Amino acid sequence: MAEATLREERDGIVALVGVLNFGSVPPIWERLRQIIRRDSSVTLSLREVRQSNSAALALLLEAVGLARACSHRLVLEDVPQNLVELAELSNVTSLLGVARND
């Protein structure tokens, strides 16, 4: 199974690192959920995501939904192009606040 990690950096920045797939997303979600509930403002960087699939998109949608439910701020940075395209196909780009970087 490919691994992914969630690394808390400075000033509310959290980095997702590795491969986000059906095996790696559930433990990442548990930790990310705690961070979103705890912090009123989180920036989630996906710069170091090497590979992702629809499980990663589900993770991001859940994270955005939780942040909204908690009245917290969540910003997604450096979303991989394949996830942006998957969001477009799923008609959820506006929910994620991401756009194609063409």
* Residue 79 is assigned to a structural domain of this protein: yes
Residue 41 included in any domain: yes
How far, in Å, CA of 72 to CA of 51, rounded? 27
Q: Is residue 46 part of a domain?
A: yes
Note the pLDDT tens digit of each residue in 32-84.
Answer: 999 999 999 999 999 999 999 999 999 999 999 999 999 999 999 999 999 99
Classify residue 74: in a domain, yes or no. yes
> What confidence category does residue 97 fall into, taking pLDDT thresholds of 50, 70 and 90?
confident
Give the chain's domain count: 1
Outline where DSSP puts E strands in the chain: 4-8, 13-20, 41-52, 73-77
Domain that holds residue 40: 4-96
Helix/strand/coil for 2: coil
Determine, yes or no, domain membership for 102: no
